[in-house]
Structure 1
Amino acid sequence: MGDLLVKLYNLNFEIQTPNGILLKRPIGPEKIFLVNWIEKNFGRLWASEVDVSFSKTPISMFVAYENKTNKVVGFSCYDTTCRGFLGPIGVLKEYRGKGIGKILLFKTLEDMYRVGYAYAIIGDAGPVDYYKKTVGAIEIEGSSPGIYKDLLGM
């Protein structure tokens, strides 16, 4: 898979948060919990990237959680692999298809736009067709294997 490019200045960020779900930008005391939760549910590589998001000002991460239980169900971040890179984004399997990933995607892209980015890069994009349809992403020719090649510890 290659990388995708998203024009932030063309997006309409008006999107409804799914019922029963809240979004927040975490704060420092939540770092260890979230890094551990992401490692358990999505793996070490994504946990490592999320750890980086806490070194940014403001923290470049958003968390989706259930309103009633405070159960974390998803997350998104940016500027964790390289500047201008969106991701990773993850939603627990049992919560997929409810619009949580979409609201996380739009909230993160909006934050990128607000801090001064005109474009976002989705590195090694998984659901390419989803990103094309949802945010008008276009493929960056010749971007595979991209920045993630030759990762240490793999």
Structure 2
Amino acid sequence: MQNMLVDLLALPDSRPVYEELKSKGIVIRRALAPDKKLVCDFVRRTFSECAVGEAEASFARKPVSLFIATEQERLVGFACYEATAPDFFGPTAVEKDHRGMGIGKALLLRSMEAMRDELGYVYAIIGGVGPIPFYEKSVGARVIPNSDPSIYRDFMTPKQKEKP
């Protein structure tokens, strides 16, 4: 899986995306410490056990570097940044029954804006990308040549067993 580069100075206007979700009762906000257990359980269920480590790392940062999407107090999506490495976005996921509504794009934009406005980055890296067309369309991301296997080369998974 390759990495992608985003020019944070050229992000699209996010207001229409946020307003559309707000009209549907979906709120994008920064996660708070009391959200940690619910968020980590959600990440485990919707993404992977490995991503839980990244979410936990995001909760260790001040401010928390993780945004969530909620609908009537129900968690429906998340996005991390500055979790695996400085200037990296991800992981992110939206519940299957809420995909296609713009939630993923809103979480991505909010994270990119935080990386630009709060951390001062001019470019951001999306690590180990799956849906390349989504990132190209949403934020003008471009694949970084020769970036596979990325930072995740020698990546351990829960399926690996320790040698005796």
> What TM-score range do you get, normalising by the shorter chain?
over 0.9
Code of the aligned partner of 2:70: Y
Q: Which residue of 81, 89, 94 corresponds with 1:91?
A: 94
Question: How big is the shift at 1:133?
Answer: 1.7
Which SS does the other structure have where 1:87 is aligned? strand
Which of residues 128, 134, 142 is equivalent to 1:130? 134
Tell me, which stretches of 5 or more residues in structure 1 are unaligned? none
Q: Quick check: 1:45 aligned with 2:50?
A: yes
Measured in 2, the distance between the counterparts of 1:78 and 1:13 equals 20
- Output the amino acid matched with 1:51: E
Is the CA contact (8 Å cut-off) linking 1:22 and 1:65 kept in structure 2? yes
Count of matched residue positions in the alignment of Structure 1 and Structure 2: 152
Aligned-partner Cα distance in 1 for 2:116–2:13: 10
Instruction: State the 1:12 CA deviation.
Output: 2.8
Following TM superposition, where does structure 1 have runs of at least 4 consecutive aligned residues deviating by more than 4 angstroms? none
- Are 2:7 and 1:7 equivalent residues in the alignment? yes
Q: Aligned with 1:76: secondary structure? A: strand
Deviation for aligned residue 1:104: 0.6
- 2:43 aligned with 1:27, yes or no? no
SS of the equivalent of 1:54 reads helix
- Return the alpha-carbon distance in structure 1 between the equivalents of residues 115 and 3 of structure 2: 17
- Bigger radius of gyration, 1 or 2? 2
Which TM-score applies when normalising by structure 2? 0.88
CA distance in 2, matches of 1:104, 1:65: 11
Deviation, 1:26, is 1.4
CA deviations over 1:45-91 (Å, ceiling 9, x no partner) = 1111101001111100100000xx31100011101110000011100
Match of 2:84 in 1: 81
* Alpha-carbon contact 1:87-1:122 (below 8 Å) kept: yes
Gaps of 5+ in 2: none
TM-score, normalization by structure 1: 0.94
Displacement of 1:152 after TM fit? 2.6
Deviations 1:4-34 (A, max 9, x none): 0000011134333212101111111211221
| Counterpart code for 2:58 | S
Asked if the contact 1:78–1:88 (Cα under 8 Å) also holds between the matched residues in 2, the reply is yes
CA distance in 2, matches of 1:3, 1:101: 18
Q: Please tell me the residue identity of whatever aligns with 2:74.
A: K
Distance 2:10 2:122 in 1: 9
Identity %: 39
